[in-house]
Each structure stands twice: as C-alpha cells, then as structure tokens.
C-alpha cells in the first residue's frame, strides 16, 4: 500500500498510512535491546520496587554486560488507585481492570489416585485470594483442552474439584525407593549392593560366588539380585516416561499462552517428577516460557510416609522427596519460578505466590552481533548489593536476523485485534475535532503517549486503527517514536467513531486502549468552534504543533482553536483564555489569544480564523486545571470551550 501523507492544517506531525501485516516474532526483544524478566523479593516475599540499573549485575555467557534500563512493572490490583470519575478528555489503559493472567494446572500423572484433595482445597482458597479482575483458568495436564479464562471463581473451583490424581502406585515385589531405583538403573553397583542385601538377605558378592558354584554343579541359581535390578530399571523407566508426558503437556500449555499479551503465571500442583536434564530438554521449555512470557511456579504436594496400598515405607523416603522436588525445581528455574512445599491445606505457599505476582523488573541490555546466532545464551543476574532474593530467566535466544518491521507490526495487529486492552505499557490518547473550511467533513486530530514519556522511557512503536459506526476502517497509522509520543490527523464525515491504539516499547512491553468519540464540531450563532487544543511550544517558529494529551510539563503551553463562520455570520473578534483550578475557584491565569483570519469568496464562502495563545504554566503548582476559552463577537459571547489538563509533580 502506498504511503499517503495526511496534511494537518495546524501543522501537527503527519502520519504515514500503511497496512499492519506481518509474521509473529519468535523471540521477545526490542529493536536494539534484549529484556530479561527478574523478580527481587524482600524477606516478606513482596517485590522490592525501588531499584535502578546500577543495582543489578548481568553476565552473558560469563561476561559482564551493562544494564541500560531497569523498569519495575507493577501488577498489583489497580482498583484502589483511581479516586473519583475517570477523565473524559482522554482515554487511558492505566486504570483498566484487565487483571493478571493465571493458570492453575493439576499434574494428575504425578498425583496418586484419590490423593491431593487437601491441596486442591488450598488451591481453591488461592483462587479466592486473587483479585476480582484477574483472568484465571484451571486445567489438568493429563488431557489438555481449550483454556477457558474467567473471573467466575465459583466455576473455577468447580472445575478444580473435578480434577484428581490418576496415578496408581506401581506394583513392586521389592521395597525399593525411587531414588535408589534411579541410581541402580544408571549402573550404580553400590546402590544395587545395598538393595540386594536388604531385600534378598545376602550380600551381592555372595550371590556372585553362589551363582558360579550353582552353574558349575549344574543346579539352580537364586535370581533375586537380577530381579531387584530389573524392577529398579522398570521403576526408573516409568518415572522418566511420566515426566516426559507432564513436561510435554507443560510445554504445549506454555506455547498456547504465547498469543496472550503481557506476562502470565502458571501454577502447577504436583507430587514431583524426575526431570533428568540428560533425558529431557529443559532448554526448550525455558525458551518457550521466555517467548510466551510465562513464569512457572510449582506446589509440591505432601506424600504420606505410610503408603496403604504398599503396606510399607520407602527405604529412601527423604531422598525420594528430594529427587521429585529437584525435578520441579529444574522446571520452575528454567521459567523464573520457584517450588514451594505444600503440606495439607496450608495456605502459606499460595499466599507467597500471590505476593510475588504483584510486580517484577524488566532489565534491558544491548546484544552483541555475535549473539544473533539462533542459539541459547546463558544469563546470570545478581544484585550489586545484598538485601533481596533475585530470580531471573537463565537464558535468551536471538535469531540470526534482527526483528523485521513486518514482525513488529504483526504484534501490533494482535494487540489491536484483542478483545480486551493490554495494560503493561501505559497509553493515553486524546482526540480533537476541527471543521473543514471547504466541506462538511471533520478533521480529527489524534494525540497519543506510550509509557512514562517524562522519565526517559524507551522508544515505542505505535499503531492506530480508526473505525466508523459500521465498523469500517477509515484510517490506520504506524509510527516509531523515540519519545513515545505521536500525533496525526484524518478527515472524516461527522459521526461516531472508535479509535484503537496499540504500542510496543523497546523493552517489549505491550499496551493498548480503545477510545470511542463523536467527530462533530458544534455551531453557535452561525460559527463552528473547534475543540480547544493544548500543545507543546514548537522548538522553532513555524515548526508543527505537537498536541498534548493531558500532562503539561513545559514552562509554557500553546492554546489553539479554530473558528469557521458561514451564512453571513461574522467571525469572532476576541478569544480570551482563562485557566482555573479543576476543583473550583477563580482564574489563576488569563491570556488574550492572537487571531489569524482568512476570508472566503463565492457562494459557499466561509470566513475562517484560528486563535492561538501562549499560556505561561511554569508558576502553576501541581494539580488539575481547566483551560476555558471564551469566544466573543462584538462583545457578545459566541461560545465557551474548555480543555482540562494537569501539572504533574
């Protein structure tokens, strides 16, 4: 599609209208930065949120690398942050209750039949502790189906109650522990000797000598040692097969979460598994978790000391628990998570996970050209000073070629098509309406901000889709903004419209928001008066204006509006702009605007004028204000137009 430049009469930056198509990227990275998710926890398990780049030390493949950015991303419940009604002059995703994405997965293959009921009861209590805005799904790993995310806690607990353990104890002729069976299967003669002495009643060396004597005499031989070894191999093989089944399900579940924007949390309930890195590729699940931005936690369920079905106690019970727990730890460690022991219905492990979900860091560093090789690279993150528990993903992988424009646009497409907004990256957007001098159409000016543009936030790629009341797309725009701001205009017929904005910054954070608005210009006394715009002062005279969304941080702001008179009505001759506190009171600033007029000719002639004023805002204390424009003609009030704004701290 050719790039059609939309000129804005007032000189706001134009936008290139291009299609948003492409392919999904295979890794999470900005154009020039690689990001690493990291959690830093205090002694109480709550995230520490006050660290900067200098507080971290990062090594890639054993070599130090500067941390160029450390952004804390809060995932705490947002409901209490906004007091009073939401502003109408702009729309933001900052107070949108999209909630976190949490999946509770029951590893039935590693929970014995009819066991785990107290743990599932604790999981139900965990669901109740989640914020009402969180989207939660419950699923069993034995039979993956479609993930049904919901905020209905009753339905979630009903689904959880239907899941239970599916593994029966393996029939054993001998009383062998899992850990010693694994070692025997790996060829440990000392473990075999211990087991033979205990189960067969004689030392392994004696059996060897007796077997030779029996062979020489032509008599029978006692096969107890061989049976112990065979049973050990069968137990080890069963454990490895069960682990591969569960890990394959975890990997598939992680991949299915990739298309959901933002971070996700996967909580696995299991009695433990044998995840031998020599037999299973944990690097693969680590890469999938990195790409999908999934953190995996595991709750290791309590295993009874006395197994009724076996009528005996494992001789290596403590080591067995450790082996199972180590397997879970390897899986969670590959996905920036942790393992917690769950005894009965103890709620404390779930409470710990709930606290950890409230925030994390995005650490950014610049990759070397040699690291774009499609291979996994090891990352080690440490705190420069003590005082916290740190967990981070252990590696990253970059393709040979940098991310293409098409791939980045594909991510924007997914954001813009999503039914719910994404809130990880804050976005604010406002719209202004102006009458077209030569037609009945309306010129809509869109202004957007992504991220905290006042705090050296990374650059962002923004995408816009404007649709009319019938859902027909009337304008699209894509722009890479170093400062996270962008403005463009589109000329459309008067009517109702919906604007969707999506953005992805250099740290890989996603944000999206939808703003419905009415593109109309009110008429009073034969004069159509536009919205009142506040804009940044241009760097040079004649430079285009850059409309503000809400926050005014410069020492001055430009107030701007347009007036269009028709049918013989006179153009206004005075525009006075006053600034008043939003909570009431008299004006704190009054300025008379400079008028620039342009007369028309012919039967459809209309007089057109703009009013422009410089508002000195440096002396205004932080707070919310309203700029009020009084449009006068021959000492008569034609219209009054207001524009709220804020002075940040």
> What's the gap between Cα 137 and its chain centre?
17
Lowest mean pLDDT segment, chosen from 26-30, 305-309, 405-409: 26-30
What's the rounded mean pLDDT across residues 9-13? 37
DSSP, res 247: H
Residue 168 pLDDT: 66
558's tokens: 């430009």
CA dihedral sign, ordered 382, 383, 388, 390:
negative
Quick one: pLDDT band at residue 544, thresholds 50, 70, 90? Answer: confident
Residue 326 pLDDT: 93
Flag whether pLDDT at 575 surpasses 80.
yes
Residue 535 pLDDT: 94
Residue 307 pLDDT: 54
390's tokens: 């740190």
pLDDT, the chain, mean = 82
What are 48-92's pLDDT values in tens digits? Answer: 988 989 999 999 998 999 998 888 888 765 544 455 577 889 999
Quick one: pLDDT band at residue 115, thresholds 50, 70, 90? Answer: low
What are 185-215's pLDDT values in tens digits? Answer: 999 989 999 998 988 988 887 776 654 544 4
Task: Compute the distance between CA of residue 510 and CA of residue 362 in angstroms, rounded to an integer.
Answer: 13
DSSP, res 86: P
Flag whether pLDDT at 12 surpasses 50.
no
Flag whether pLDDT at 220 surpasses 60.
no
What are 128-138's pLDDT values in tens digits? Answer: 888 888 889 99
Residue 446 pLDDT: 94
Quick one: pLDDT band at residue 1, thresholds 50, 70, 90? Answer: very low
Flag whether pLDDT at 563 surpasses 60.
yes
Lowest mean pLDDT segment, chosen from 26-35, 37-46, 139-148, 500-509: 26-35
Give the H or E element holding residue 279.
none
Task: Compute the distance between CA of residue 106 and CA of residue 299 in angstroms, rounded to an integer.
Answer: 10
| Percentage of the chain modeled with pLDDT above 90 | 37
Flag whether pLDDT at 218 surpasses 60.
no
CA-based nearest residue to 519, from 508, 510, 528: 528
If you write DSSP's letter for every residue of 512-574 in order, what string do you get?
A: EEEEEEEE---EETTEEE-PPEEEEPPSSTTPPPEE-SSB--SSEEEEEEEEEE-TTPPPPSE
Task: Compute the distance between CA of residue 197 and CA of residue 434 in angstroms, rounded to an integer.
Answer: 92
Task: Give the residue, 577 or 32, on which the prediction is more confident.
Answer: 577
Flag whether pLDDT at 169 surpasses 70.
no
**What SS3 state is found at 619?**
coil
Residue 400 pLDDT: 66
Residue 308 pLDDT: 46
Task: Compute the distance between CA of residue 265 and CA of residue 353 in angstroms, rounded to an integer.
Answer: 10
615's tokens: 């508002």
The domains of the chain, with CATH numbers, are: 1-25+403-521 (2.60.40.10), 26-95+363-402 (no CATH), 101-169+231-356 (3.40.50.410), 523-649 (2.60.40.2550)
**What SS3 state is found at 43?**
coil
End-to-end CA gap in the chain: 44
Task: Give the residue, 387 or 498, on which the prediction is more confident.
Answer: 498
What's the rounded mean pLDDT across residues 373-392? 85
Residue 303 pLDDT: 72
CA-based nearest residue to 169, from 238, 116, 244, 269: 238
Buried b (16+ CB within 10 A) or exposed e, 94-115: eebbbbbbbbbbbbbbbbbeeb
Quick one: pLDDT band at residue 25, thresholds 50, 70, 90? Answer: very low
If you write DSSP's letter for every residue of 306-370 in order, what string do you get?
A: SBTTTTB--TTHHHHHHHHHHHHHHHHHTTT--EEEE-TT--HHHHHHHHHTTEEEEEEEPPPGG
**Helix count and strand count (H, E) for the chain:** 10, 34
What's the rounded mean pLDDT across residues 3-25? 32
Residue 31 pLDDT: 42
CA-based nearest residue to 6, from 466, 533, 514: 466
Flag whether pLDDT at 489 surpasses 70.
yes
Residue 97 pLDDT: 67
Quick one: pLDDT band at residue 296, thresholds 50, 70, 90? Answer: very high
Flag whether pLDDT at 390 surpasses 70.
yes
What are 323-335's pLDDT values in tens digits? Answer: 999 999 999 998 9
Residue 599 pLDDT: 60
Q: Please state, in angstroms and as integers, the Cα–Cα distance from residue 644 to each residue in 87, 482, 560, 580, 617, following that order.
A: 9, 26, 14, 9, 14
């Amino acid at each position: 599609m050719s790039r059609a430049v939309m000129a804005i009469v007032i000189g706001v930056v134009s936008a290139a209208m291009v299609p948003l198509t492409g392919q999904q990227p295979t890794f999470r990275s900005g154009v020039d930065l690689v990001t690493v998710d990291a959690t830093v926890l205090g002694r109480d398990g709550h995230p520490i949120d006050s660290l900067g780049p200098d507080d971290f030390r990062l090594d890639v493949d054993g070599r130090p690398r500067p941390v160029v950015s450390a952004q804390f991303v809060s995932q705490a419940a947002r409901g209490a942050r906004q007091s009073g009604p939401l502003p109408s002059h702009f729309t933001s995703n900052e107070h949108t209750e999209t909630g976190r994405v949490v999946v509770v997965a029951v590893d039935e293959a590693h929970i014995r039949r009819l066991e785990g009921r107290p743990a599932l009861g604790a999981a139900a209590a965990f669901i109740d502790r989640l914020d009402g805005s969180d989207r939660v799904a419950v699923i069993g790993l034995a039979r993956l189906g479609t993930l049904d995310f919901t905020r209905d806690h009753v339905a979630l607990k009903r689904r959880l109650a239907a899941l239970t353990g599916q593994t029966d104890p393996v029939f054993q002729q001998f009383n062998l522990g899992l850990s010693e069976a694994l070692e025997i299967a790996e060829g440990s003669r000392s473990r075999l000797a211990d087991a033979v002495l205990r189960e067969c009643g004689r030392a392994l060396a004696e059996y060897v000598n007796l077997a030779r004597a029996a062979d020489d005499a032509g008599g029978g031989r006692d096969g107890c040692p061989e049976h112990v070894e065979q049973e050990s191999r069968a137990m080890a093989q069963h454990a490895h097969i069960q682990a591969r089944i569960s890990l394959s399900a975890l990997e598939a579940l992680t991949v299915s979460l990739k298309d959901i924007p933002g971070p996700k949390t996967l909580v696995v309930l299991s009695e433990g598994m044998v995840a031998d890195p020599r037999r299973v590729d944990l690097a693969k699940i680590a890469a999938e978790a990195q790409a999908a931005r999934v953190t995996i936690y595991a709750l290791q369920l309590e295993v009874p000391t006395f197994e009724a079905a076996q009528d005996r106690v494992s001789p290596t019970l403590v080591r067995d628990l450790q082996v199972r727990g180590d397997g879970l730890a390897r899986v969670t460690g590959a996905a920036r998570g942790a393992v917690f022991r769950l005894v009965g219905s103890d709620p404390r492990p779930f409470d710990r996970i709930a606290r950890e979900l409230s925030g994390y860091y995005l650490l950014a560093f610049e990759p070397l050209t040699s690291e774009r090789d499609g291979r996994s690279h090891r990352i080690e993150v440490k705190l420069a000073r003590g005082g916290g528990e740190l967990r981070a993903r252990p590696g990253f992988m970059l393709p040979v070629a940098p991310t293409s424009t098409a791939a980045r646009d594909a991510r924007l497409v997914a954001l813009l098509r999503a039914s719910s907004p994404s809130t990880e990256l804050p976005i604010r957007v406002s719209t202004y309406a102006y009458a077209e001098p030569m037609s009945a159409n309306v010129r809509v000016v869109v202004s957007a901000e992504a991220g905290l543009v006042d705090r050296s936030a990374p650059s962002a790629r923004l995408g816009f889709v404007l649709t009319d009341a019938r859902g027909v797309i009337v304008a699209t725009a894509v722009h890479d903004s170093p400062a996270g701001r962008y403005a463009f205009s589109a000329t459309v017929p008067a009517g109702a419209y919906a604007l969707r904005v999506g953005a992805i910054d250099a740290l890989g954070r996603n944000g999206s928001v939808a703003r419905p608005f009415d593109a109309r210009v009110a008429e009073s006394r034969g004069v159509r008066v536009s919205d009142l715009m506040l804009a940044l002062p241009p760097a040079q005279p004649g430079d285009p204006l850059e409309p503000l969304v809400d926050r005014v941080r410069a020492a001055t702001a430009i107030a701007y509006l347009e007036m269009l008179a028709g049918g013989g009505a006179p153009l206004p001759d005075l525009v006075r702009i006053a600034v008043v506190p939003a909570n009431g009171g008299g004006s704190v600033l009054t300025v008379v605007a400079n008028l620039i007029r342009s007369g028309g000719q012919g039967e459809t002639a209309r007089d057109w004028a703009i009013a422009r004023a410089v508002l000195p805002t440096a002396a205004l204390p932080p707070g919310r204000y309203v700029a009020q424009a009084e449009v006068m003609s021959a000492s008569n009030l034609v219209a009054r137009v207001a524009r709220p704004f804020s002075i940040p701290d």
